[in-house]
């Protein structure tokens, strides 16, 4: 079982969409468990149509049978979901029990955990997951908040590998990979993908967005990839004139 924590320093960076998309892609071949640990602010249940859950991650940590806590995702036999509690805080959760309970779930090949950006939760999950995928954007605000996440790792001596994904990248701007590495400290950091800015992921841009997600899946499986570039269609004179 490979356990991966998805983190970000800034809200709106696409962390939850990427987490759910990775889980869906992995589940095409392997039994996968997606966990929402954003206590009080869960959203993944809505994305997966699992909003009518009775038990959650708190109940799972208290020893309620996993068959009762873990939800089956509709139309996906290999993807299951454990939702966050809306009424509990990180201090209410027994993470040692979560670790023990996950270790007994031998049916899953992958566990994807959507982790909020508070220090206590990151440190707690660092003792459970094998590696982190850090989602950031290529702008000053996002990178400054990403730096705060990196400081949490340094301060708490977290040694887990960190794979960095730049999301919502402007395809018209230069992306200097060497300079990006200067932003991150530590030998366990690797930039694995830059996902361009898509304006309509749910419709016409979905298939191309999923190509980038599949590249990340290949990295999770231990394969090397080449950075993918967004397909740029030549705009007509009218499109340029209208700013489309």
Confidence band (pLDDT; 50, 70, 90) for 104? confident
Q: Flag whether pLDDT at 240 surpasses 50.
A: no
Lowest mean pLDDT among 58-72, 121-135, 225-239: 225-239
The pLDDT, as a whole number, for residue 244 is 53
Contacts with 84 (C-beta within 8 Å, 6 or more apart), sequence order: 36, 37, 38, 39, 40, 41, 42, 44, 56, 57
Residue 155's Cβ-count burial label (10 Å; 0-12, 13-18, 19+) is exposed
More confident of the two residues 83 and 4? 4
Mean pLDDT over the full length of the chain: 85
Contact criterion met (CB below 8 Å) for 219 and 193: yes
Residue 77's Cβ-count burial label (10 Å; 0-12, 13-18, 19+) is exposed
**Cα–Cα–Cα angle for 181, 231, 144, rounded to 5 degrees:** 30
Give phi and psi for 148, each to the nearest 5.
-65, -35
Task: Tell me how crowded residue 68 is: count the other CB atoms within 10 A of its CB.
Answer: 11
- Mean pLDDT, residues 218-242: 65
Contacts with 163 (C-beta within 8 Å, 6 or more apart), sequence order: 131, 132, 133, 134, 190, 191, 192, 219
Q: CA-CA distance, 61 to 189, in Å (whole number)?
A: 30
The percent of residues above 70 in pLDDT, for the chain, comes to 89
Q: CA-CA distance, 6 to 67, in Å (whole number)?
A: 24
- Give the global pTM: 0.87
Q: Flag whether pLDDT at 91 surpasses 90.
A: yes
Lowest mean pLDDT among 4-8, 15-19, 62-66, 210-214: 62-66
Domain segments of the chain as ranges:
2-242
Contact criterion met (CB below 8 Å) for 217 and 133: no
CATH class of 2-242: alpha beta
More confident of the two residues 45 and 138? 138
């Amino acid at each position: 079982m490979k356990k991966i924590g998805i983190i970000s320093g800034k809200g709106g960076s696409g962390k939850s969409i990427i987490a759910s998309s990775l889980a869906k892609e992995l589940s095409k071949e392997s039994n996968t468990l997606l966990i929402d640990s954003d206590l009080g602010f869960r959203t993944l249940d809505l994305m997966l149509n699992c909003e009518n859950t009775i038990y959650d991650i708190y109940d799972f940590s208290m020893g309620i049978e996993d068959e009762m806590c873990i939800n089956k995702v509709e139309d996906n036999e290999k993807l299951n979901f454990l939702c966050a509690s809306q009424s509990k805080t990180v201090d209410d959760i027994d993470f040692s029990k979560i670790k023990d309970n996950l270790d007994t779930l031998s049916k899953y090949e992958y566990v994807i955990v959507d982790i909020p950006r508070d220090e206590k939760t990151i440190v707690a999950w660092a003792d459970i997951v094998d590696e982190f995928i850090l989602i950031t954007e290529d702008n000053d605000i996002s990178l400054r908040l990403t730096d705060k996440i990196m400081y949490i790792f340094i301060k708490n001596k977290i040694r887990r590998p960190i794979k960095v994904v730049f999301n919502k990248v402007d395809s018209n701007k230069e992306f200097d990979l060497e300079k990006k590495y200067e932003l991150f400290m530590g030998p366990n950091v690797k930039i694995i993908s830059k996902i361009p800015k898509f304006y309509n992921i749910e419709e016409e841009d979905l298939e191309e967005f999923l190509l980038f997600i599949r590249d990340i899946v290949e990295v999770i499986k231990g394969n090397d990839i080449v950075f993918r570039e967004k397909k740029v269609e030549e705009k007509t004179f009218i499109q340029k004139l209208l700013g489309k």
